Amino acid sequence: MSEPMTKAKHILRDKLARQIVEGTLKPNDILPNELTLVREYGLSRTTIRDVLRSLEEKGLLERKTYVGTRVRSIHSWNLLDDEVLNWSCGVMSQRRFFSSLMELRMIIEPQAAALAAIRANDADLQAIQEAFTWMNIDNQRIDPEGDVAFHQGIIKASGNMFVAQFGGAIRAALYHTIYLSGKEAIDQAGSIESHRQVLNSIENRDALSAYSIMIRILKMTVSDLGLPLSEIITADTSSG
């Protein structure tokens, strides 16, 4: 496919996706048929089909014979897909968006840290240690990509095959919350120290400590994102 055609394809896909996410195209709306889209956008039928197929794979559309291409509701979207997250972040209420992402992380990561303390092998530990070195620029500043790698390493080290695969899926969720909270964080040095402590707990096979410190890290992220902790369902019911 030529470069201009490839660019036009991405522009159309982005346009349709944003119309769906923004609500311009509402759930159960039927899109114009392929021939109409071909005429409207001046693209080949193959390109139109590729665009629709891509959005269908991401859960935004559903195509049925004799019915057409139908817009699906948010409950069907693959919200952990990088592109769907990016489309959603710009238009969805930021409070709702990040509250949902942080609840997801609260559900997964404290238990993953506890499991990592029990199950991590030497390769897992090395990966987490290297990610910590990467994220810790000078004991004062955090590299967001290293931070993402650190949390992904812990999820993988949990040793649960479903949670480990889920870790790959939530990379985008980690990146959005870690990158933005990192930019806003007042006390990055304190965050680095908490990450060091959860690493030490995993190295020392202290599951309870790893669990509680991960909750503390996530609560700090909630605060750095400007979200009320009372709106986040945490894995910890204590007042601390």
On the question of a common fold for 3-76 and 93-231, the answer reads no
Domain chopping of the chain, boundaries: 3-76, 93-231
Per residue in 31-45, pLDDT tens?
999 999 999 999 999
Spatial separation of the C-alpha atoms in residues 122 and 9, rounded to whole Å: 45
Q: What pLDDT score was predicted for residue 156?
A: 93
Q: What pLDDT score was predicted for residue 84?
A: 87
The pTM (predicted TM-score) of the whole model is 0.76
What fold, for 93-231? Answer: Four Helix Bundle (Hemerythrin (Met), subunit A) (1.20.120)
- Looking at residue 74, the DSSP 8-state letter turns out to be G
Q: Quick check: helix, strand or coil at residue 205? A: coil
Q: What pLDDT score was predicted for residue 240?
A: 40
Q: What pLDDT score was predicted for residue 87?
A: 85
Q: What pLDDT score was predicted for residue 235?
A: 54
**Residue 20, phi then psi, degrees to nearest 5:** -70, -50
Output the CATH code of domain 3-76: 1.10.10.10
Low-confidence ranges of the chain (pLDDT < 50): 1-3, 237-240
Spatial separation of the C-alpha atoms in residues 211 and 108, rounded to whole Å: 11
